[in-house]
Chains A and B, each alone.
Chain A
Amino acid sequence: MTDLYQTQRTMRNMRKAAMQRGLVAILDVGTSKIACLILRFDGPEVFRESDGIRSLAGQSSFRVIGAATTRSRGVRYGEISAMQETERAIRTAVQAAQKMANVRVDHVIACFAGGNPRSYGLAGEIDLQDGIVQDQDVGRVLSACEMPDYGDEREVLHAQPVNFALDHRSGLDDPRGQVGGRLACDMHMLTVDTTAIQHLLYCIKRCDLELAGIASSAYVAGIASLVEDEQELGAACIDMGGGATGLSIFIKKHMIYADSVRMGGDHVTSDISKGLQVPLATAERIKTFYGGVVATGMDDREIIEVGGETGDWERDRRTVTRSELIGIMRPRVEEILEEVRARLDAAGFEHLPSQQIVLTGGASLIPGLDGLAPKILGQRVRIGRPMRVQGLPQAATGAAFAGAVGLTLFAAHPQDEWWDFEVPSDRYPARSLKRAIRWFRDNW
């Protein structure tokens, strides 16, 4: 536990160093593509406290100066499965982005979709010593949360305090300075497989970069795609990626649940490949050009040249109608959405006051999805695109870049996590000088 705390602390320090240098790279390691953005921060003087809500919600503080995308290799289900291949792909993306930005970046903030994310809701409470909530009391109440046994092979990715309650008053954002006797908090914790993080860490280290932060792509896609009201009132963001579909539920501007379905656009492609007996590349091309999920009478007459690439050009001139293609794609998309529905039901999504669902990610671009999704997910579904950030190239503004864009917002304004608060002195290892200093500071 302390170990994790230290790693996350180190990453936060790294992020601070990157902010001071004003340059940080964003790396979205996805199953179908790897995107790298380079952000330049203009410095803290851009923020003015007097502005209240800052211009462009604080996004004017940074600017995207380099962007590059490359076909992902060696990633399956959002997890790295072939390390060398992934490393090469990351290198490609980083090099191209550096070339565009004409600067060298050393710090990178990464996100990935896989690793079987699992959510835990934790609660903890403490008695306040002097009746006023101090800084260290927040740290204490967070440490007082009861840790579930999430297994040895898991690592905590996010641990965000979601809600504070002071005596009988709940729903506090920031309890510091308030008077009360008993402080309680709710924390949302997200764990992923240790190996997934370790593999990513290894690849990034092999590229001479340093990891300044790590996030779940379901979470960052939610930040990018949900508008402020949706985040406040309760909404789910479904990030339909290549190999995994992430879903995150937000309420009161906090993520309270995240999960992922290990199916995505690549499965649709492989279905087409198998069904039409064509190579994967051709299947991908057919999917993006002619794909859809709702068949009409017009589609029976639309003939698609499949072109088997078997070498027998005279004989192998197969064609399919578009409705056949839709017939292959639709069951898989339905399966994904049904799986998502099941996860949402398991999370108790129907109890939220507002049940907005936002579909984003590359696979959400399938034509006709806005007709299919409401049948499975409920009436309040929309297809979302990530919000605009300054300097982002037009090519990188699509739904497929929700993760990358969300990560830029995450880099600029990270949410408070458990490790941002001071650990109470009894959590330090015994005989530590720091512990002695803490004890003095707490008691005088």
Chain B
Amino acid sequence: MRPLSAPRRDPAPSRLAYRAQRIWLTPLFRSLIRTGLPTFLIVFLAASYLSNPATKDSIHDVIENVRQSVAERPEFKVERMAIDGASEELSQDIAEVTNIDFPMSSFDLDLPGLRERVATLDAVAEVRVRIRSGGILQVDVVERKPKLVWRSREMLETIDAEGRRVGALASRIDRPDLPLVAGDGADVAAAEALRVYAAAGPLAPRIRGLLRVGERRWDVILDEDQRILLPEAAPVRALEQVIAIDQAQDIFARAIVAIDMRLPHRPTLRLTEPALEELRHLRALSVGAEAR
């Protein structure tokens, strides 16, 4: 007799189900399915969508439009440029160099580039560029101060205390207030030249200029064709020594052409031609008297 009830269901998993469960319980496989596969799908779909050039362009357009609409808002509009700390002439130069058509959006302004371009100007020592509220491009400039006039072989220039070029001069008469230096390499030693000028003291009204000789030492040119040859090292001390001699013996009032201080412990005088003749004559006389 067959049993009336249906045969009991076999609880055993099939081989396939068993294997599937074991594979699913493998940690690597599990993480692959749960994170690897979705990641791959998302990346793949995004890549396939973006690889179409038309969609790429349209996305680009949308981004560009949004950017444009934001950039064109009045809050970001720059109306004009304000330059502080620059002379009239320099301001014109800066305006020429920056060359911006106002009004324009602050998004389109390349501030670091602007700053760099302004800094290339010779007369500008330091520059800060920022956009101020109210749509103003603020350029703060610290100008170089001309301290010397340098007469080089080609031209006449003003230079600052560090020897950097500030501007060109048409003639010496334009800046009579600045002392003059000349010769090759005079700009490099501008600081030293200024120290020499500062030490000149009572001689200052008589100084016509400093001449750089051989790019290593200074000659002080005085009026009446007199000159002081300063040494390479410690020229200020040597000049002070000359001033002391002058004050004691009033040496420049005599018939000399130059005081040679190149050896500081042994100042040497160069006399004018008539004085030399006179000296020789006097010596001959004294020699003759002795001979007699």
Contact B11 A92 (CB under 8 A): yes
Q: Which residues of A contact B18 (CB under 8 A)?
A: 91, 94-95, 207-208
B287 interface hit (Cβ, 8 Å): no
12 contacts between A and B (CB under 8 A): A91-B12, A92-B11, A94-B18, A95-B18, A95-B21, A98-B22, A98-B25, A99-B21, A102-B25, A103-B25, A207-B18, A208-B19
Contacts of A98 in B (CB 8 A): 21-22, 25
Instruction: Kindly supply a per-residue 1/0 record for chain B positions 139-153, scoring 1 wherever the CB is within 8 Å of any chain A CB and 0 otherwise.
Output: 000000000000000
- B4 at the A interface (CB under 8 A): yes
Nearest A residue to B30 by beta-carbon distance? Answer: A104
Interface size on B, residues (CB 8 A): 15
Interface membership of B15, Cβ < 8 A: yes
Judge whether B87 is part of the interface by a CB distance below 8 angstroms.
no
Kindly supply a per-residue 1/0 record for chain B positions 108-122, scoring 1 wherever the CB is within 8 Å of any chain A CB and 0 otherwise. Answer: 000000000000000
Q: List the B side residues contacting A99 at CB < 8 Å.
A: 21
For residue A382, CB closer than 8 A to chain B, the reply is no
B270 vs chain A, min Cβ distance (A): 99
Interface contact tally, CB-CB below 8 A: 33
In the complex, what residues of B have CB within 8 A of residue A340's CB?
A: none
- How far, in whole Å, are A92 and B21 apart by their CA atoms in the complex? 12
Does any Cβ of A come within 8 Å of B13's Cβ? yes
The distance in angstroms between the C-alpha atoms of A167 and B12, with both chains bound, is 58
B4/A311 in contact, CB under 8 A = yes
Residue among A91, A92, A309 with max Cβ neighbours from chain B (10 Å): A91
Report the 7 A-B pairs with minimum CB-CB distance, sorted nearest first: A88-B12, A104-B25, A92-B12, A91-B18, A95-B13, A104-B22, A311-B4
Q: How far is the CA of A133 from the CA of B17 in the complex (A)?
A: 55
Known contacts A104-B25, A207-B18; A91/B4 CB under 8 A? no
**What string of 1s and 0s marks CB contacts (under 8 Å) between B1-42 and chain A?**
101100000111101011101100110000000000000000
CA distance A95 to B25 in the complex (A): 11
The 8 A CB mask of A95-108 against B (1 = contact, 0 = none) is 10011001110000
The answer to the question of A70 belonging to the interface, with a C-beta cut-off of 8 Å to chain B, is yes
Chain B residues in 8 Å Cβ range of A89: 12
A-chain residues with CB within 8 Å of residue B12 when the two chains form the complex: 88-89, 91-92
Majority SS at the chain B contact face? loop
Cα separation A437 to B13 with both chains bound (whole Å): 50
Residue in A closest to B3 when the chains form the complex, CB atoms: A309
How many of chain A's residues have a CB under 8 angstroms from any CB in B? 17
A binding-site residues for B, Cβ under 8 Å? 70, 88-89, 91-92, 94-95, 98-99, 102-104, 207-208, 309-311
B92-103: CB near A (< 8 Å → 1, else 0) gives: 000000000000
Q: Which residue of B lies closest to A311 (CB)?
A: B4
When distances are taken between beta carbons in the complex, the residues of chain A under 8 Å from B26 are 104
Q: Which residue of B is nearest A90, CB measured? A: B12
Residues of A within 8 A of B3 (CB): 309
Residues in B with CB closer than 8 Å to A102 are 25
5 A-B pairs besides A102-B25, A311-B1 with CB distance below 8 A are: A89-B12, A94-B18, A95-B13, A95-B18, A98-B25
A70 contacts B11, CB within 8 Å? yes
Complex Cα–Cα for A88 and B25 (A): 19
* Assembled-state Cα–Cα distance A98/B20 (Å): 12
Tell me the minimal C-beta distance from B145 to chain A in angstroms: 77
CB B3 to nearest CB in A, in angstroms, measures 8
- With the chains together, A103 CA to B13 CA distance in Å? 17
Nearest B residue to A101 via CB reads: B25
Q: Is B4 touching A92 in the complex (CB atoms < 8 A)?
A: no
Across the interface, which residues of A come within 8 angstroms of B10, CB to CB? 88
- B22 and A91 form a contact (CB under 8 A): no
Residue of B nearest to A94 (CB): B18
Q: For the complex, give the distance between the alpha carbons of A92 and B15 in Å.
A: 10
Nearest chain B CB to A169's CB is how many angstroms away? 53
Residues of A within 8 A of B19 (CB): 208
In the assembled complex, how far is the CB of residue A103 from the closest CB belonging to chain B, in whole angstroms? 6
Given contacts A103-B25, A207-B18, A208-B19, contact A92 B13 (CB under 8 A): yes
Give Cα distance in the complex from A98 to B24, angstroms: 11
Question: Of the candidates A88, A208, A309, A311, which one forms a contact with B22 in the assembled complex, judged by CB atoms under 8 Å apart?
Answer: A208
